[in-house]
Chains A and B, each alone.
Chain A
Amino acid sequence: MPQISQLLEVYGGQFFWLLIVIGIIYFGIARNMVPKISKTVDDRQKRITDDLAAAQGAQDRAEQIEIDYRASINNARADAVGNVNEAKAKAALKNEAAIKRADAAIAKKADEADAELKAAKTAALKEIEAVAAEAAQAIVATVSGAKVSAADAKKAVKAAF
């Protein structure tokens, strides 16, 4: 086996050249080039992660904008409904007040008319009483010749009514 039979004559040269080659690979390639390659890979990974994060952020923002938009639409709708209801309520109140006022005016007029009617009725009755008393006085005077005082006649008429 040459590896053993030659060992003593070649080990120096083998070690020497191997150390040189290994040294060049270690310092030139493994310590110099490999970190750059690793960095390229890391940078790419980072870039992908960043891009994904940015996309996620944009999506979140878009969702937030949509939520805001929905909220503002809902608010506007609620406002409109509120305004309409308010206006309705106001109008109803106004109507009611107007009706009440009108009712009051009508009632007042009716009362007045009623009172006038009553007054007129009373006045008429009085007149009728007076006429009836005079008539009764005249009738009594004509029929019996007796003189009946106006007061008596009135009393009798009242009793007759």
Chain B
Amino acid sequence: MAEPGKIDPMHQFEVQPIFDGFTLFGQQISFTNSALWMFIVLGLLYVFMMGGMKRELVPGRWQIMVEGVVGFVDNIIATSIGPNGKKYTPWVFTLFMFILFSNLLGMMPFGIIPGIHPFTVTSQFTVTGLLAAISFSIVLVVGFWKHGFKFFSLFIPHGTPVVMIPLIFMVELLSFLVRPFSLALRLFVAMIAGHILIKVFANFVIQAIDAGGASWGIALLSIIFIAFVSALELLVCAIQAYVFALLTSLYINDAENLH
């Protein structure tokens, strides 16, 4: 906790235990604010999906929304993997919806209610890292399961001159191995950056008001800036969820349909 009267823009990312849990493999598993917000995301997602389960012939607004999201994910799979990709739809759907709901929930202004501290699950490297690791594991398992050692031919693009093969292979292998990190870091950094930016400008507002006088202008300017950054962040929330799902399906495509 920062000293009183000052806003620590990093404080929002701190994981705090709500009640202590148990020990598993030498790790303390406590129920944290992070876990709580994961379950809130789960609950919201469930409520959202239940709204689309009426299965009416002529859909209502809610059903249209749910069907639109499902169709959107199906579309990502169909365009980037093809007809073989149907079996990966659940995972890509899970990724997309979990990230989208976490991102959006983190941007909601629940903080104005005293005692509630919103927490963006996707701003934790542990969370994005695990999601990326699962996606990468799927790529590896599917790749080696389906193609065996031929999967290594992924690292040799078509038409590579024979002398260049060792070098190209190393470069491609490196870029392949970097994928899970870039996947995880992209989402994590995008989330964290927007939240810090908003907090820093919120800090400006408070300090400017404290200073009084002409600083009111700075406070007003900062508030306008926060509004714009918030709008931009809402866009980033959706884009990052889409990018994560799209890149996952593109990577799976490499393993599923080896070029």
Given A13-B29, A13-B30, A17-B35, answer yes or no on A25-B126 (Cβ-Cβ < 8 Å): no
B204 at the interface (CB under 8 A from A): no
List the B side residues contacting A18 at CB < 8 Å.
Answer: 38, 121, 126-127, 130-131
Q: Looking at the complex, which one of B10, B49, B50, B127 makes contact with A14 (CB distance below 8 Å)?
A: B127
Give the size category of A's interface with B. Answer: 35 or more
Mask: chain B, 126-161; 1 = CB below 8 Å from A; 0 = not: 110011001000000000000000000000000000
Contact present for A29 and B94 (CB under 8 Å): yes
Asked if A3 and B13 make an inter-chain contact with CB atoms under 8 angstroms apart, the answer reads yes
With A21-B41, A25-B42, A31-B90 in contact, do A10 and B74 touch (Cβ < 8 Å)? Answer: no
Report which of A13, A15, A21, A34 forms a contact with B70, defined as CB distance below 8 A. Answer: A34
B71 within 8 A of A: yes
Q: Within residues 53 to 71 of chain A, which ones have a CB less than 8 A from any CB in chain B?
A: none
What's the tally of chain B residues with a CB closer than 8 Å to chain A? 55
Q: Is the CB of B42 within 8 A of A21?
A: yes
**How far is A34 from B95 in the complex, measured between Cα atoms in Å?**
13
Stretch at the interface among B19-27, B210-218, B233-241, B249-257: B19-27
Count CB-based A-B contacts (< 8 Å). Answer: 132
Beyond A2-B14, A37-B66, whether A13 also contacts B90 by CB under 8 A is no
Complex CA–CA separation, A31 to B92 (angstroms):
11
Q: Are B98 and A4 in contact (CB under 8 A)?
A: no
Q: How far is the CA of A9 from the CA of B125 in the complex (A)?
A: 13
List residues of chain A with CB within 8 A of the CB of B28: 9, 12-13
Residue of B nearest to A14 (CB): B126
Residue in A6, A14, A47 whose beta carbon sits within 8 Å of that of B130 in the complex: A14
**Chain B residues with CB under 8 A of A9:** 28
Which of B51-59, B108-116, B172-180 forms part of the interface with chain A?
B51-59
Chain B binding surface, main DSSP class: helix
> Is A41 engaged at the interface, CB distance under 8 Å to the other chain?
yes
Contact of B74 among A1, A24, A25, A38 (CB under 8 A): A38
In the complex, chain B residues 77-98 whose Cβ is within 8 Å of any chain A Cβ: 89-91, 93-94, 97-98
- Report whether A37 and B52 are in contact in the complex, using a CB–CB cutoff of 8 Å: yes
Contacts of B25 in A (CB 8 A): 12
Residue numbers in B under 8 Å from A85 (CB-CB): none
Q: Provide the bound-state CA to CA distance between A59 and B27, in Å.
A: 72
For the complex, what is the distance from the CA of A16 to the CA of B29, rounded to whole Å?
Answer: 7
Chain A residues, CB < 8 A from B57: 43-44, 47
Instruction: Give complex CA distance A103, B8 in Å.
Output: 136
In the complex, are the beta carbons of A34 and B93 less than 8 A apart? yes
A1 near B13 with CB under 8 A, answer yes
Q: Are A38 and B130 in contact (CB under 8 A)?
A: no
User: Counting CB contacts under 8 A, is A11 at the interface?
Assistant: yes
* Given contact pairs A21-B42, A29-B49, a sample of 14 additional A-B residue pairs in the complex whose CB atoms are under 8 Å apart: A3-B192, A6-B15, A12-B27, A13-B27, A13-B28, A13-B31, A17-B29, A18-B121, A19-B130, A21-B41, A30-B94, A33-B49, A36-B53, A37-B66
Instruction: Name the 9 nearest CB pairs between A and B, nearest first.
Output: A12-B27, A30-B90, A17-B35, A14-B126, A2-B14, A21-B38, A30-B93, A40-B55, A10-B15
